[in-house]
Amino acid sequence: MEKSSKIYVAGHRGMVGSAIVRQLESEGFNNIVYRTSSELDLMDQAKVNEFFETEKPDYVFLAAAKVGGIHANNIYRAEFLYNNLMIESNIIHASYVHKVSKLLFLGSSCIYPKFAEQPLTENALLTGSLEPTNEPYAIAKIAGIKLCEAYRDQYGCNFISAMPTNLYGPNDNYDLQTSHVLPALIRKFHTAKEEGHPSVPVWGSGSPKREFLHVNDLAKACMFLMKNYNEKLFVNIGTGVDVTIKELAETIKETVGFEGEIAWDATKPDGTPRKLMNVGLINGMGWKHEIDLKEGIAMVYEDFKQLDFA
């Protein structure tokens, strides 16, 4: 990529897209284009084609998606499947039609089978059943991977895919109805501390293990792949280290300074028992994460305290 290359970041106001924009700007790229959802409905194929015809981007980061945690994935199943299928299909096809030089599609670690061998390697895709609570979202993301592969096979497009682990960082979603576990716990512990609650309820048993990557590290990985990787196989992006939800909750409790108890609600679903990424492929190419979890939680808590509802 040249510094003057026209780069389209789809989903630039989300946590991932905004991190990619920050990384591009920090590296001196000065021709970045994007549209808000009110300016461009990515589920409208005609509007997406019109945008690509007008702007003619050279590179595309496809970070736009409808996302959420266990609760949102399980309740809004049709929306998570339909919206994500439409968004990725429209952008990937328009990128082919308008001769984009390279596209990076961002998926999710939930694409892997629920009981796949740990840590999750790229070749475990489609070897077993998915976690039921987020199956529609996972199917949409698998479809995105396969679209990139199919357009590469049939048309020779340089479309690549990356699968991040669980993410957190600036511009995260702290809505308790739709957020992922880490931002939800930050908000719960902060609220409990501010309001003097004796305990904080947390879903599940605390035993599932999860891996967490700061979104700034993901943005650097995306740039690394856009510059250096041109193969069909999608690439895992993560830290290669996981913690139990109990350990995560205790770390956040300590960071926030909440002195009450954690009340585990075992009647609520745990989700997938473990989702640790094998990051040997991207580490072998020369990329490795820089921000450890405890440091990252402290960073995002400082950001969180500046938000309006904090």
159-164 β-sheet, strand order:
32-33, 7-10, 59-62, 102-106, 159-164, 235-237
Active site (annotated) includes residue 137:
yes
Residue 283 buriedness (CB in 10 A; 0-12 / 13-18 / 19+): middle
CB atoms near residue 111 (< 10 Å): 25
**Bond prior to 170 in cis (omega within 30° of 0):** no
R_g of the chain computed on alpha carbons: 19
- HSE-CB for 287 with a 13 A CA cutoff: 22
Catalytic residue among 137, 168, 174, 229: 137
**Beta bridge partner(s), residue 274:** 209
Residues noted as catalytic: 137
